[in-house]
Amino acid sequence: MKNLFATGIAALALCAGSPAFAEYPNDGNITFVIPYSPGGGFDTIVRQFAPALEAAMGTTVIPENISGAGGARGGQAVHRSDPDGYTIGVYNIPGLTVNEITGREQGFALDEVTWIANIAVATYGLAVPADGPDTVEELCSGDSPAKFSDTGATSTASVTTRISMAIIGCDIVDVTGYKGSSDAMVAVISGEVDATIKPISSLAKYTAGGSGDLKLILTLTENQVIDGVPSATDIGHPELAKFTLNRVIGGPPGIPDDVVAKLEDGLRQASESDAVKSWADGAGVTIDFKGAAETKAMMSDLASFYADYKDLVSMPQ
């Protein structure tokens, strides 16, 4: 009897499910999960993309904030939803990648996620006070280790700081615990710490062109992106360009390929829309669209890259 009941439910689910695939996305609203509270970087980019995505897909897109556990709760919610293309989410990458490498249980595996697209990327820069050292070499030549400021020990910026400075061979103390990246940057301005590594777009409001309180002395990029500021390649460590902050879109495991293709196309159109472009220009966000296949490759690439530095990633203070 129980089996019969279960089969009945399954059959009903199939009946209800199949036409939805056929007509996708005309069968309802798309829920776009944001793994952080309203107002932050993840929230802003999704809310800016939502209207353009809506226009491209021809259905309503509802951003939903499911915050907590460093972005893992939002990821879990997406993971548990039906793979029908009506629930997608933005993922905290490489934060979740680092969690996984350090063996922290987060309720789902990143390699099971159906990757749909990468919509934006942020590159990092190393900043010191305006009257601070001019080169990384000078910064690292002091008697005691150079002090850096960061938010949490598992934040992407902190992991980036520890690994990249170890690669360069610079002895540092990463002072974590600042409440936000603005606090961490102000700690450099007030002279509480010596330097910080943060997205170049976030540093911009304090560096030349902004208030001029901070000075960029290195960008973790392959090529020089700011005149006169050396890139990672310039100092002989092109691998540092691997450290980026990505806004990656994914869905639950098993979304059919045609649905993924439609979502990928919708996100591509949204990223090319005038509204998103003009917002990105004003907010200093770099739109960097990558399709599903490319995003999947990038994610496995990132996993093996961070796995190489497992010891540094999980290093407690």
Partner 1 sequence: MGLDALLEAFLAVLNGGSFLYLAAGVILGLAFGVIPGLGGTTALALLIPVTYTLDPLDAMYLAGGVMGATSFGGSISAILLNTPGTAPNAATTFDGYPLSRQGKAGLAIGASATASALGGLIGLFTLLLFIPVAREVVLSFGQSEFFLLTVLGLAAIAVSVRGKLLRGLVAACIGLLLAFVGANQFTGDTRFTGGIDYLWDGIPLVPALTGLFAISQMIELALKGGSVAEDGLSAVKMKITGVGSGILSVFRHWTVLLRGSLIGTVIGAIPGLGGTVAAFLAYSSTAQTARDRDTFGTGNIKGVIAPEAANNAKDGGSLIPTVAFGIPGSAETAVFLGILVLHGMEPGPAILLYNEREIYGLIVALTVSAVFASIIGLLLSRVLVLITQIDVNIVVPVVVTLSLTGVYVLEGRMADVLLTVLIGIFGYLMIRFDYPRLTLVIAFVLGETAERAFHQVRLISDGQVVEYMLSRPVSVILILAIVVTFFLPAMRKLPQIRRRLAGGR
- Residue 222: burial class (beta carbons within 10 Å; 0-12, 13-18, 19+): middle
Strands 114-129 and 244-251: antiparallel
Question: Which two tokens mark 315?
Answer: 């290093």
**Does the protein bind partner 1 through residue 262 (CB under 8 A)?**
no
- Given 16, 22, 173, 275, the residue binding partner 1 (CB under 8 A): 173
**Does the protein bind partner 1 through residue 134 (CB under 8 A)?**
no
Site for partner 1 in 149-168 (CB under 8 A): 152-154
**Does the protein bind partner 1 through residue 311 (CB under 8 A)?**
no
- Given 81, 233, 269, 314, the residue binding partner 1 (CB under 8 A): 314
Q: Is 87 helix (H, G, I), strand (E, B) or coil?
A: strand
Amino acid occupying residue 237: H
Site for partner 1 in 184-203 (CB under 8 A): 186-187, 189-190, 192-193
Question: Which two tokens mark 258?
Answer: 């045609």
The vertex-82 CA angle with 81 and 84, nearest 5°, equals 130
Q: Is 154 helix (H, G, I), strand (E, B) or coil?
A: coil
Minimum CB–partner distance for residue 210 and partner 1 (Å)? 6
- Given 65, 97, 221, 244, the residue binding partner 1 (CB under 8 A): 65
**Which residue, 193, 137, 131, is CA-closest to 165?**
137
- Given 206, 243, 306, 309, the residue binding partner 1 (CB under 8 A): 206
Q: Is 140 helix (H, G, I), strand (E, B) or coil?
A: coil
**Does the protein bind partner 1 through residue 291 (CB under 8 A)?**
no
The residue ranges that bind partner 1 (CB under 8 A) are: 37-40, 43-44, 47, 64-70, 72-73, 102, 104-107, 144, 147, 152-154, 173, 175-180, 182-183, 186-187, 189-190, 192-193, 205-206, 210-211, 213, 279, 282-284, 314, 316-317
